[in-house]
């Protein structure tokens, strides 16, 4: 990171923190109005829109030429001549936010010419900030973290994160999902992709698989994962390669576990990820 990018990081850190405080207060003191977007599982609240407006307004005021890729507004995707684009998810885990008040996050990342610069994930309910600067490591609440040692365990010791929708989609492609999950130690689903990637990064999960993710869900957490020594694979699902379309994401810590799990994937998916 250059000096200008360090200033951007400090600005983004303060912005993400303050947006989290605002969101926490809104949940305590106002009625949450929920609307369905594409299904009963794809929701938006007035608070999603509010936090996104706050983030975009601050970024545009500070860096008016930068591109912005945001979940709800889906507008200023073009970057400036310097190639900077901010990727925003105002509330990742909206169902968790309005139903439980936990396990949701504000996610903010900066990319330059498609390459990661830094990412911040604010686990608002717990008050924890997961941060990463590309090439400079990961940080939790200003405490620098080491790269985790490579796990040597095999698949039977793995904790796998996967949603029912992903299981159903993979099963429709003739993948033996039940057979795979019966061999692992346990499977979980949090409903917040950014925090699930952070759990992979921190060694709580071993593998995350999702066929129903968007770029803004994982843009920041991907940087955090990679700076802790994890691996991130993805492919765009839309034929037009739109940045607003769904992506298929696989994140893992142990290559040994991934090699075993990969054998269960149908050939069509293995080929798309570059495996024979």
pLDDT value of residue 39:
61
pLDDT value of residue 7:
96
pLDDT value of residue 73:
75
User: Distance (Å, rounded) from C-alpha 183 to C-alpha 115?
Assistant: 36
Q: Domains of the chain, with CATH numbers?
A: 3-145 (3.30.540.10), 155-272 (3.40.190.80)
Residues contacting residue 169 through CB under 8 Å, at least 6 positions apart: 211, 212
pLDDT of 84-139, one tens digit each?
999 999 999 988 988 889 999 999 999 999 999 999 999 999 999 999 999 999 99
What one-character DSSP code corresponds to residue 81?
T
pLDDT of 173-222, one tens digit each?
999 999 999 999 999 999 999 999 999 999 999 999 999 999 999 999 99
User: Distance (Å, rounded) from C-alpha 101 to C-alpha 93?
Assistant: 10
Higher pLDDT, 21 or 141: 21
User: Distance (Å, rounded) from C-alpha 244 to C-alpha 214?
Assistant: 7
User: Distance (Å, rounded) from C-alpha 57 to C-alpha 226?
Assistant: 29
pLDDT value of residue 63:
93
Start-to-end C-alpha separation, the chain? 36
pLDDT at 140 exceeding the cut of 90: yes
pLDDT of 255-271, one tens digit each?
999 999 999 998 989 98
What one-character DSSP code corresponds to residue 41?
T
pTM for the predicted model, two decimal places: 0.92
pLDDT at 76 exceeding the cut of 80: no
pLDDT value of residue 149:
76
């Amino acid at each position: 990171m250059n000096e200008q990018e360090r200033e951007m990081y400090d600005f983004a850190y303060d912005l993400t923190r303050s947006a989290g405080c605002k969101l926490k207060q809104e949940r305590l003191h106002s009625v949450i109005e929920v609307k369905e977007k594409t299904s009963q599982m794809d929701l938006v609240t007035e608070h999603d829109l509010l936090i996104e407006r706050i983030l975009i307004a601050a970024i545009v005021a500070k860096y008016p030429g930068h591109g912005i890729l945001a979940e709800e507004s889906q507008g200023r995707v073009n970057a400036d001549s310097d190639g900077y684009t901010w990727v925003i998810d105002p509330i990742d885990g909206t169902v968790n936010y309005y139903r439980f008040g936990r396990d949701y996050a504000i996610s903010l990342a900066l990319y330059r010419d498609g390459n990661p610069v830094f990412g911040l994930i604010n686990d608002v309910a717990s008050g924890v900030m997961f941060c990463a600067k590309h090439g400079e490591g990961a940080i939790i609440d200003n405490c620098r973290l080491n790269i985790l040692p490579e796990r040597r365990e095999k698949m039977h010791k793995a904790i796998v994160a996967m949603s029912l929708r992903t299981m159903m989609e993979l099963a429709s492609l003739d993948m033996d999902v039940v057979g795979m999950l019966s061999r692992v130690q346990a499977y979980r689903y949090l409903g917040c992709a950014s925090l699930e990637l952070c759990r992979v990064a921190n060694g709580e999960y071993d593998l995350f698989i999702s066929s129903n993710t968007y770029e803004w869900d994982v843009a920041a957490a991907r940087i955090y994962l990679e700076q802790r020594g994890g691996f991130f694979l993805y492919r765009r699902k839309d034929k037009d390669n739109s940045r607003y379309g769904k992506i298929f994401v696989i994140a893992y810590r142990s290559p040994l576990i991934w090699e075993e799990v990969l054998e269960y994937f149908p050939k069509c998916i293995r080929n798309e990820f570059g495996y024979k």
